[in-house]
């Protein structure tokens, strides 16, 4: 997820939430860096707690898959996963602490040991998810989840009748990231988004009790758009991890090479490619935005905020002249707020 708006209301709610520990608190604190408010102040405290619980799981899984955990060894110990091997030098960095390197890692050269460790962590989170649903089904017989960010999921699953599928899709998306670093075409990228993006919107609708087939379809469009624009913001960062989320057929169509994406700034061909992908994301947002008009009250405002976050991120990409290599395109908070108000009023 990409850094942008930082609303002051996004600190993790307190109340009855279990103590997430220092590493879990660091994970939850990343909510302030998302393109849209995760659990805004205008929601009731119970809603904010529920949303932060889901966010904690999503962020934890993403950080495990990206090698961005605050305490990978501690997380491994909690989940019963073998401790990460120690890198012995820059050329053998495991991708556990990307900031420790003097420059971005060479693309296409992932560490086998680092990949194996990340996959083991994801398997450990999958097993802990089993404990969540076993405990929700029968607290007396099920083992409690081991990770503090998964423990609050137990009452959440029980209250809202959530199913394992969206959570497992998010884990699977991060497994895919360990083995798939390129996408042939747009359809293949969208198939990835069904794992990495769709589940988030579906969980929000399920928590609110508004998950109908029509709303789910519009939510999927919004979430896929948010995922695509996040990829546009993070082209350089993703390439440093050895990944390219721009479809290969589009690179060929615009005459863009991978070397062009590694340049310090975008040439004309790269900017035209980014413009093309941004237009695709905008089309998805336009198609999904009427979801806002199907609900009322605070949920309508929340969905307007999510949708506006996508439009504001697209405006930021346009604002840097589609040169996402020279600087990260960050949405303007005032533009986001104004767009959210407009979407709330119009219902789309």
Q: What is the pLDDT of residues 224-234, one digit of tens each?
A: 999 999 999 99
CA 87 to chain centre: 27
pLDDT in tens, 18-39: 688 787 888 888 877 776 668 8
Q: Using 50, 70 and 90 to split pLDDT, how confident is the model at 139?
A: confident
Over residues 103-129, mean pLDDT:
82
C-beta of residue 49 within 8 angstroms of C-beta of residue 15: yes
Q: Is the pLDDT of residue 329 over 70?
A: yes
Q: Would you state the pLDDT for residue 100?
A: 36
The pTM of the whole model exceeds 0.75: yes
Euclidean distance between CA atoms 275 and 317, whole angstroms:
8
Over residues 173-198, mean pLDDT:
97
8 Cβ contact list (under 8 Å, min separation 6):
32
Q: What is the dihedral of CA 281, 282, 286, 289, to 10 degrees?
A: 70
């Amino acid at each position: 997820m990409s850094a942008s708006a930082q609303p002051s209301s996004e600190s993790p709610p307190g109340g009855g939430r279990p103590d997430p520990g220092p590493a879990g608190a660091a994970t939850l604190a990343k909510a302030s860096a998302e393109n849209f408010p995760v659990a805004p102040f205008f929601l009731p405290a119970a809603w904010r707690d529920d949303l932060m619980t889901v966010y904690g799981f999503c962020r934890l899984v993403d950080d495990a898959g990206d090698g961005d955990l605050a305490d990978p060894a501690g997380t491994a110990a909690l989940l019963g996963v073998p401790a990460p091997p120690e890198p012995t030098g820059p050329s053998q960095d495991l991708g556990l602490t990307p900031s420790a390197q003097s420059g971005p890692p060479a693309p296409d050269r992932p560490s086998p040991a680092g990949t194996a460790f990340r996959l083991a962590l994801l398997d450990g989170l999958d097993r802990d998810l089993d404990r969540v649903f076993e405990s929700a089904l029968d607290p007396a017989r099920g083992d409690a989840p081991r990770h503090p960010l998964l423990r609050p999921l137990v009452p959440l699953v029980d209250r809202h009748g959530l199913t394992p599928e969206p959570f497992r899709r998010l884990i699977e998306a991060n497994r895919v990231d360990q083995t798939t670093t390129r996408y042939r075409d747009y359809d293949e990228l969208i198939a990835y988004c069904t794992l990495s993006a769709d589940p988030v919107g579906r969980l929000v609708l399920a928590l609110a009790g508004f998950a109908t087939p029509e709303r789910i379809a519009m939510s999927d469009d919004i979430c896929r758009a948010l995922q695509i624009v996040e990829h546009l913001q993070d082209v350089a960062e993703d390439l440093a991890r050895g990944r390219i989320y721009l479809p290969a057929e589009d690179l060929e169509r615009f005459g863009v090479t991978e070397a062009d994406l590694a340049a310090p700034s975008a040439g004309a061909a790269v900017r035209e490619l980014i413009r093309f992908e941004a237009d695709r994301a905008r089309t998805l947002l336009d198609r999904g935005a009427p979801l806002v008009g199907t609900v009322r009250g605070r949920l309508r405002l929340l969905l307007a905020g999510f949708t506006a976050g996508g439009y504001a991120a697209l405006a930021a990409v346009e604002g840097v002249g589609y040169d996402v290599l020279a600087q990260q395109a960050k949405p303007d908070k005032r533009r986001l707020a104004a767009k959210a108000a407009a979407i709330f009023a119009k219902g789309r």
